[in-house]
Amino acid sequence: MPRSRILDSCSAVLAVLAVAAAVVAATSGPAAAEKPVDLVLNPPAGKTFHYQLDNQTELNYQGNTMSTLSSGSVSMTRAADAANKNLVFSITVDKLEMSRRQGSELQAQDLGLNGAKLQAEVTPRGKVAKVEGVTVLNEQQLKIAENLVDVLFVDVPEQPVKTGDTWKSDLSKRDGSSTGSGEFTLDEIAKKSGHQAAMISGPVAFEAKEPALTGKGTFEAAIAVDGGYTISAKGSMDLKSDGPSVQQSFELKLVE
């Protein structure tokens, strides 16, 4: 090939490489800083959210095992806010089924909560402040219903957070029957069930007074960036005492 042709070819290759280098330089510079998200609870008023909740508890004592399985559907709607600026939700236990297994024996448990209506007051940061029965409930039914309501909401940080940020949450029961804490991290912002969600996870610790149980576990949740409501959540915990040990797990899903 004539020398002039070779030079022309080299020049063309160098020009292409120069353009490619410029493109790489333009696209591989410092990434834009991630904008923190403020996970304040603020779902639209009047919109009803439908959730599916499944729970499993296994108790082991002196070589005997008893398992309890429950599955339910719960609906919640934001009502008029309280005077103290907390959010108020109308909540209905649409259906709740429970069964108990010990050995080969399986027994269905009728909790009498199907159709039960409640009202919950929740802080803008997802802390349940109060639960009241609209439907007349006995003490045991109200306690179960309160536990259902607690699962619907997730304590979120008091300030905006970005990926990698960590915060602590107080998970103690309102009635003082147990103390608990969690240390959660914002893992990423991602799409979850069609929503832009903050994906959080972290370890939790728990201590109950009566019966005396202590334990540790894990928790993860997807929180809607726009509205701060729970899209999904799941957790598990191992609890121990001088006598029985308990393993618990649950999963909550927004089914709309």
Split into its structural domains, the chain has a count of 2
- For 160-244, where are the alpha helices, taking DSSP H only? none
Model confidence at 165: pLDDT above 50: yes
Q: Which residues pair with 222 in a beta bridge?
A: 199, 232
Q: 173-181 — which CB contacts under 8 Å span 24+ positions?
A: 174/128, 174/129, 174/130, 176/209, 177/208, 177/209, 177/210, 178/206, 178/207, 178/208, 178/209, 179/206, 179/207, 180/204, 180/205, 180/206, 180/207, 181/205
- Cβ pair 247, 58 in contact under 8 A: yes
Q: Is residue 40 part of a domain?
A: no
Where does the pLDDT of residue 17 fall: very low under 50, low under 70, confident under 90, or very high at 90 and above? very low
Q: What is the pLDDT of residue 33?
A: 52
* pLDDT tens for each residue of 137-162: 999 999 999 999 999 999 999 999 99
**Can you tell me the distance from the alpha carbon of 169 to that of 155, in angstroms, rounded to the nearest whole number?**
6
Q: Is residue 86 part of a domain?
A: yes
Q: Is residue 221 part of a domain?
A: yes
Its domain, for residue 3, covers 1-30
The CATH number of the domain holding residue 221 is 2.30.230.10
* pLDDT tens for each residue of 235-247: 999 999 888 899 9
119 and 5: one domain? Answer: no
Q: Is residue 43 part of a domain?
A: no
For residue 92, give every residue at least 6 positions away whose Cβ sits within 8 Å of its Cβ, in sequence order, or none: 74, 75, 76, 115, 116, 117, 118
Whole-prediction pTM? 0.83
Least confident segment among 29-33, 43-47, 78-82, 154-158:
29-33
Q: Is residue 230 part of a domain?
A: yes
Q: What is the pLDDT of residue 5?
A: 40
Amino acid, single-letter form, for residue 75: S
17 and 102: one domain? Answer: no
- Cβ pair 116, 92 in contact under 8 A: yes
Q: Is residue 13 part of a domain?
A: yes
Residues 194-207 have a mean pLDDT of: 95
Q: What is the pLDDT of residue 210?
A: 77
Q: Is residue 242 part of a domain?
A: yes
Tokens 């108790």, residue? 59
Q: What is the pLDDT of residue 54?
A: 97
Q: Is residue 172 part of a domain?
A: yes
**Can you tell me the distance from the alpha carbon of 95 to that of 136, in angstroms, rounded to the nearest whole number?**
16
Structure tokens at 121: 């007051």
| Whole-number CA gyration radius for the chain | 26
**Can you tell me the distance from the alpha carbon of 149 to that of 1, in angstroms, rounded to the nearest whole number?**
81
17 and 73: one domain? Answer: no
Q: In degrees rounded to 5, what are phi and psi of residue 229?
A: -90, 160
1 and 107: one domain? Answer: no
132 and 203: one domain? Answer: yes
